[in-house]
A = this chain, B = another copy of it.
Protein backbone atom coordinates (compact mmCIF):
# COMPACT_ATOMS: atom_id res chain seq x y z
CA UNK A 1 0.00 0.00 0.00
CA UNK A 2 1.19 3.56 -0.60
CA UNK A 3 2.58 5.06 2.62
CA UNK A 4 0.03 7.91 2.22
CA UNK A 5 -2.92 5.51 2.63
CA UNK A 6 -5.26 6.52 5.46
CA UNK A 7 -4.20 4.87 8.75
CA UNK A 8 -7.67 3.33 9.27
CA UNK A 9 -7.49 1.72 5.80
CA UNK A 10 -4.10 0.23 6.69
CA UNK A 11 -5.42 -0.95 10.08
CA UNK A 12 -8.54 -2.39 8.42
CA UNK A 13 -6.46 -4.29 5.87
CA UNK A 14 -4.21 -5.70 8.60
CA UNK A 15 -7.26 -6.76 10.63
CA UNK A 16 -8.22 -9.10 7.77
CA UNK A 17 -4.90 -10.88 8.26
CA UNK A 18 -2.94 -9.19 5.46
CA UNK A 19 0.82 -8.66 5.49
CA UNK A 20 0.99 -5.01 4.37
CA UNK A 21 4.10 -3.87 2.47
CA UNK A 22 4.50 -0.15 1.83
CA UNK A 23 5.59 1.72 -1.30
CA UNK A 24 5.62 5.22 -2.75
CA UNK A 25 2.36 6.46 -4.25
CA UNK A 26 3.24 6.61 -7.98
CA UNK A 27 2.46 3.57 -10.13
CA UNK A 28 6.17 3.16 -10.94
CA UNK A 29 7.06 2.98 -7.26
CA UNK A 30 4.19 0.60 -6.53
CA UNK A 31 5.06 -1.69 -9.41
CA UNK A 32 8.73 -1.80 -8.41
CA UNK A 33 7.87 -2.93 -4.87
CA UNK A 34 5.41 -5.49 -6.26
CA UNK A 35 7.98 -6.90 -8.71
CA UNK A 36 10.45 -7.19 -5.87
CA UNK A 37 7.98 -9.16 -3.69
CA UNK A 38 7.11 -11.48 -6.59
CA UNK A 39 10.79 -12.10 -7.22
CA UNK A 40 11.51 -12.86 -3.56
CA UNK A 41 8.43 -14.93 -2.68
CA UNK A 42 6.97 -16.27 -5.93
CA UNK A 43 3.70 -14.51 -5.09
CA UNK A 44 0.94 -14.24 -7.69
CA UNK A 45 -0.08 -10.76 -8.84
CA UNK A 46 -3.81 -10.03 -8.65
CA UNK A 47 -4.33 -7.00 -10.90
CA UNK A 48 -7.09 -4.54 -9.88
CA UNK A 49 -9.03 -4.40 -13.18
CA UNK A 50 -7.13 -5.11 -16.40
CA UNK A 51 -7.43 -8.92 -16.43
CA UNK A 52 -10.17 -11.26 -17.76
CA UNK A 53 -10.53 -13.19 -14.47
CA UNK A 54 -10.98 -9.99 -12.45
CA UNK A 55 -13.55 -8.72 -14.96
CA UNK A 56 -15.52 -11.98 -14.93
CA UNK A 57 -15.41 -12.15 -11.13
CA UNK A 58 -16.65 -8.59 -10.73
CA UNK A 59 -19.39 -9.30 -13.26
CA UNK A 60 -21.01 -11.94 -11.06
CA UNK A 61 -22.52 -9.12 -8.97
CA UNK A 62 -24.76 -8.29 -11.95
CA UNK A 63 -26.12 -11.86 -11.97
CA UNK A 64 -26.89 -11.55 -8.26
CA UNK A 65 -28.50 -8.15 -8.72
CA UNK A 66 -30.61 -9.39 -11.64
CA UNK A 67 -31.86 -12.38 -9.63
CA UNK A 68 -32.45 -10.45 -6.40
CA UNK A 69 -34.56 -7.84 -8.20
CA UNK A 70 -36.63 -10.56 -9.91
CA UNK A 71 -37.20 -12.27 -6.55
CA UNK A 72 -38.05 -8.97 -4.86
CA UNK A 73 -40.54 -7.96 -7.54
CA UNK A 74 -42.12 -11.42 -7.53
CA UNK A 75 -42.65 -11.10 -3.77
CA UNK A 76 -43.83 -7.47 -3.91
CA UNK A 77 -44.57 -6.00 -7.37
CA UNK A 78 -45.33 -2.59 -5.81
CA UNK A 79 -41.60 -2.09 -5.25
CA UNK A 80 -41.00 -1.63 -8.99
CA UNK A 81 -42.47 0.04 -12.04
CA UNK A 82 -46.05 -1.26 -12.55
CA UNK A 83 -46.21 -4.38 -14.68
CA UNK A 84 -42.46 -4.94 -14.94
CA UNK A 85 -40.93 -8.04 -13.45
CA UNK A 86 -37.25 -7.26 -13.82
CA UNK A 87 -34.55 -4.62 -14.24
CA UNK A 88 -34.55 -2.39 -17.32
CA UNK A 89 -31.05 -1.06 -16.64
CA UNK A 90 -28.01 -1.13 -14.37
CA UNK A 91 -25.67 1.81 -13.75
CA UNK A 92 -22.26 1.37 -12.13
CA UNK A 93 -19.12 3.47 -11.50
CA UNK A 94 -16.25 3.29 -13.99
CA UNK A 95 -12.63 3.91 -13.00
CA UNK A 96 -10.25 1.30 -14.41
CA UNK A 97 -13.38 -0.34 -15.80
CA UNK A 98 -12.98 -3.88 -14.44
CA UNK A 99 -16.30 -3.86 -12.60
CA UNK A 100 -18.31 -2.11 -15.32
CA UNK A 101 -16.97 -4.30 -18.12
CA UNK A 102 -17.74 -7.36 -15.99
CA UNK A 103 -21.32 -6.18 -15.57
CA UNK A 104 -21.52 -5.55 -19.33
CA UNK A 105 -20.31 -9.08 -19.99
CA UNK A 106 -22.68 -10.69 -17.49
CA UNK A 107 -25.77 -8.86 -18.76
CA UNK A 108 -24.95 -9.12 -22.47
CA UNK A 109 -27.96 -10.58 -24.30
CA UNK A 110 -30.38 -10.19 -21.37
CA UNK A 111 -31.95 -6.99 -22.71
CA UNK A 112 -30.92 -5.16 -19.53
CA UNK A 113 -29.12 -1.97 -20.56
CA UNK A 114 -25.81 -1.13 -18.87
CA UNK A 115 -24.55 2.41 -18.14
CA UNK A 116 -21.33 3.75 -16.65
CA UNK A 117 -21.06 6.70 -14.26
CA UNK A 118 -18.04 8.94 -13.69
CA UNK A 119 -16.94 12.12 -11.96
CA UNK A 120 -16.08 14.92 -14.42
CA UNK A 121 -13.82 17.07 -12.22
CA UNK A 122 -10.48 17.87 -13.94
CA UNK A 123 -11.10 15.47 -16.82
CA UNK A 124 -11.83 12.46 -14.63
CA UNK A 125 -14.59 11.53 -17.12
CA UNK A 126 -12.01 9.80 -19.32
CA UNK A 127 -14.39 6.99 -20.31
CA UNK A 128 -17.11 9.41 -21.43
CA UNK A 129 -14.62 11.60 -23.31
CA UNK A 130 -12.80 8.60 -24.78
CA UNK A 131 -16.03 7.10 -26.12
CA UNK A 132 -16.89 10.46 -27.76
CA UNK A 133 -13.43 10.75 -29.30
CA UNK A 134 -13.29 7.10 -30.34
CA UNK A 135 -10.01 6.38 -28.55
CA UNK A 136 -8.96 5.28 -25.07
CA UNK A 137 -7.58 8.10 -22.91
CA UNK A 138 -4.45 6.67 -21.31
CA UNK A 139 -3.59 9.31 -18.73
CA UNK A 140 -5.79 11.08 -16.21
CA UNK A 141 -4.62 13.61 -13.62
CA UNK A 142 -7.43 14.59 -11.32
CA UNK A 143 -8.07 15.11 -7.64
CA UNK A 144 -11.80 14.32 -7.79
CA UNK A 145 -13.26 13.37 -4.42
CA UNK A 146 -14.26 10.08 -6.09
CA UNK A 147 -10.71 8.84 -5.52
CA UNK A 148 -11.47 5.28 -6.61
CA UNK A 149 -12.27 6.60 -10.10
CA UNK A 150 -9.13 8.64 -10.81
CA UNK A 151 -7.70 5.81 -12.95
CA UNK A 152 -7.99 5.74 -16.76
CA UNK A 153 -9.92 2.81 -18.29
CA UNK A 154 -7.72 -0.26 -18.79
CA UNK A 155 -7.13 -1.90 -22.19
CA UNK A 156 -9.29 -4.99 -21.75
CA UNK A 157 -12.20 -3.09 -20.13
CA UNK A 158 -11.96 -0.59 -23.01
CA UNK A 159 -12.34 -3.38 -25.58
CA UNK A 160 -15.57 -4.41 -23.83
CA UNK A 161 -17.22 -1.04 -23.11
CA UNK A 162 -16.68 0.11 -26.71
CA UNK A 163 -18.99 -2.70 -27.87
CA UNK A 164 -22.35 -0.97 -28.30
CA UNK A 165 -24.18 -4.23 -27.71
CA UNK A 166 -22.67 -4.34 -24.23
CA UNK A 167 -22.57 -0.75 -22.94
CA UNK A 168 -25.27 1.83 -23.64
CA UNK A 169 -23.24 4.85 -22.54
CA UNK A 170 -21.27 6.69 -19.85
CA UNK A 171 -22.53 9.82 -18.05
CA UNK A 172 -20.66 12.08 -15.66
CA UNK A 173 -21.40 14.27 -12.64
CA UNK A 174 -19.85 17.19 -10.74
CA UNK A 175 -18.23 17.07 -7.30
CA UNK A 176 -21.26 18.82 -5.83
CA UNK A 177 -23.67 16.34 -7.42
CA UNK A 178 -21.61 13.46 -5.99
CA UNK A 179 -21.72 15.06 -2.52
CA UNK A 180 -25.49 15.58 -2.75
CA UNK A 181 -25.99 11.93 -3.74
CA UNK A 182 -23.77 10.81 -0.83
CA UNK A 183 -25.88 12.86 1.54
CA UNK A 184 -29.07 11.24 0.24
CA UNK A 185 -27.63 7.71 0.46
CA UNK A 186 -26.46 8.27 4.02
CA UNK A 187 -29.08 10.53 5.62
CA UNK A 188 -32.09 8.86 4.02
CA UNK A 189 -31.11 5.35 2.88
CA UNK A 190 -28.69 4.92 5.85
CA UNK A 191 -25.99 3.38 3.63
CA UNK A 192 -22.42 4.48 4.34
CA UNK A 193 -20.65 4.96 0.99
CA UNK A 194 -17.49 6.58 -0.34
CA UNK A 195 -17.67 9.34 -2.99
CA UNK A 196 -16.81 6.89 -5.81
CA UNK A 197 -19.87 4.83 -4.89
CA UNK A 198 -22.24 7.77 -5.28
CA UNK A 199 -21.66 8.56 -8.98
CA UNK A 200 -24.36 6.20 -10.29
CA UNK A 201 -26.98 7.61 -7.93
CA UNK A 202 -25.82 11.15 -8.83
CA UNK A 203 -26.26 10.46 -12.57
CA UNK A 204 -29.75 9.07 -12.01
CA UNK A 205 -30.76 12.08 -9.88
CA UNK A 206 -28.97 14.98 -11.53
CA UNK A 207 -27.64 14.24 -15.04
CA UNK A 208 -30.21 15.83 -17.33
CA UNK A 209 -28.94 14.04 -20.45
CA UNK A 210 -29.32 10.66 -18.76
CA UNK A 211 -32.75 11.57 -17.37
CA UNK A 212 -33.98 12.65 -20.83
CA UNK A 213 -32.72 9.37 -22.30
CA UNK A 214 -34.60 7.34 -19.68
CA UNK A 215 -37.75 9.41 -20.19
CA UNK A 216 -37.54 8.73 -23.92
CA UNK A 217 -37.06 4.99 -23.49
CA UNK A 218 -39.14 4.36 -20.38
CA UNK A 219 -42.03 6.60 -21.47
CA UNK A 220 -44.81 7.15 -18.94
CA UNK A 221 -44.25 3.97 -16.98
CA UNK A 222 -40.53 4.49 -16.37
CA UNK A 223 -37.67 2.09 -15.71
CA UNK A 224 -36.48 -0.20 -12.95
CA UNK A 225 -32.82 0.86 -12.59
CA UNK A 226 -30.28 -1.01 -10.49
CA UNK A 227 -27.65 1.33 -9.05
CA UNK A 228 -24.32 -0.19 -7.98
CA UNK A 229 -22.96 1.53 -4.84
CA UNK A 230 -19.32 0.45 -4.74
CA UNK A 231 -17.73 0.85 -2.21
CA UNK A 232 -17.52 2.16 1.35
CA UNK A 233 -13.76 2.40 1.91
CA UNK A 234 -13.55 5.75 3.60
CA UNK A 235 -13.17 7.20 7.09
CA UNK A 236 -15.25 9.42 9.33
CA UNK A 237 -12.48 12.04 9.08
CA UNK A 238 -12.74 12.08 5.28
CA UNK A 239 -16.52 12.43 5.60
CA UNK A 240 -16.07 15.28 8.11
CA UNK A 241 -13.76 17.08 5.68
CA UNK A 242 -16.33 16.79 2.88
CA UNK A 243 -19.27 18.02 4.93
CA UNK A 244 -17.75 20.38 7.49
CA UNK A 245 -17.15 23.63 5.49
CA UNK A 246 -19.30 25.80 7.78
CA UNK A 247 -20.75 28.39 5.41
CA UNK A 248 -21.44 25.94 2.59
CA UNK A 249 -22.76 23.27 4.94
CA UNK A 250 -25.16 25.66 6.60
CA UNK A 251 -26.45 26.93 3.25
CA UNK A 252 -26.89 23.38 2.11
CA UNK A 253 -28.71 22.38 5.26
CA UNK A 254 -30.97 25.38 4.78
CA UNK A 255 -31.80 24.34 1.22
CA UNK A 256 -29.98 27.27 -0.38
CA UNK A 257 -27.51 25.21 -2.40
CA UNK A 258 -28.92 24.11 -5.72
CA UNK A 259 -27.95 21.24 -7.99
CA UNK A 260 -29.27 21.59 -11.53
CA UNK A 261 -31.61 24.27 -10.23
CA UNK A 262 -33.13 22.08 -7.51
CA UNK A 263 -32.73 22.72 -3.81
CA UNK A 264 -30.61 19.87 -2.52
CA UNK A 265 -31.89 19.74 1.04
CA UNK A 266 -35.48 19.73 -0.12
CA UNK A 267 -34.93 17.47 -3.10
CA UNK A 268 -35.19 14.27 -1.11
CA UNK A 269 -37.75 11.70 -2.25
CA UNK A 270 -40.10 10.48 0.46
Residues of A within 8 A of B (CB): 6-8, 11-12, 14-17, 182-183, 186-193, 232, 234-237, 239-244, 249-250, 253-255, 265-266, 268-270
Pick from B188, B241, B254, B265: contact of A244, CB under 8 Å? B241
A266 to B191, CA, bound (A): 23
Set of chain B residues within 8 Å of A183, measured between Cβ atoms: 236
How far does the Cβ of A220 sit from chain B's closest Cβ, in whole Å? 23
> Contact between A190 and B193 (Cβ–Cβ < 8 Å)?
yes
Copies of this chain, how many? Answer: 2
Q: Is the CB of B234 within 8 A of A187?
A: yes
Residues B190 and A232 in contact, CB atoms below 8 Å apart:
yes
Point out the residue from B17, B237, B266 that lies within 8 Å of A243, measured CB to CB. Answer: B237
Whole-angstrom distance between the Cβ of A263 and the nearest chain B Cβ: 9
Which of B16, B191, B235 meets A270, CB within 8 Å?
Answer: B16
Bound together, the chains give a CA A254 to CA B235 distance in angstroms of: 12
Q: Which residues of the partner chain B approach A190 to less than 8 Å between Cβ atoms? A: 191-193, 232
CA distance A232 to B253 in the complex (A): 17
Instruction: Give the top 10 A-B pairs by smallest Cβ distance, nearest first.
Output: A236-B243, A240-B244, A240-B240, A190-B232, A240-B243, A190-B192, A186-B192, A15-B270, A7-B253, A237-B249
How near does chain B come to A23, taking the closest CB pair, in angstroms? 20
Q: List 26 A-B contacts (CB under 8 A).
A: A7-B253, A7-B265, A8-B265, A11-B255, A12-B268, A15-B269, A17-B270, A183-B236, A186-B236, A187-B192, A187-B232, A187-B236, A190-B192, A190-B193, A236-B242, A236-B243, A237-B243, A237-B249, A237-B253, A239-B240, A239-B243, A240-B241, A240-B242, A240-B249, A241-B244, A244-B244
Partner of A235, one of B6, B11, B187, B191: B187
How long is the Cα–Cα vector from A6 to B243 in the complex, in angstroms? 15
Contacts A14-B266, A236-B239 supplied; 20 other A-B pairs, CB < 8 Å: A7-B253, A7-B255, A11-B255, A11-B265, A12-B188, A12-B268, A15-B270, A182-B236, A186-B236, A187-B235, A190-B191, A190-B192, A191-B191, A192-B192, A236-B242, A236-B243, A237-B243, A237-B244, A239-B239, A239-B243
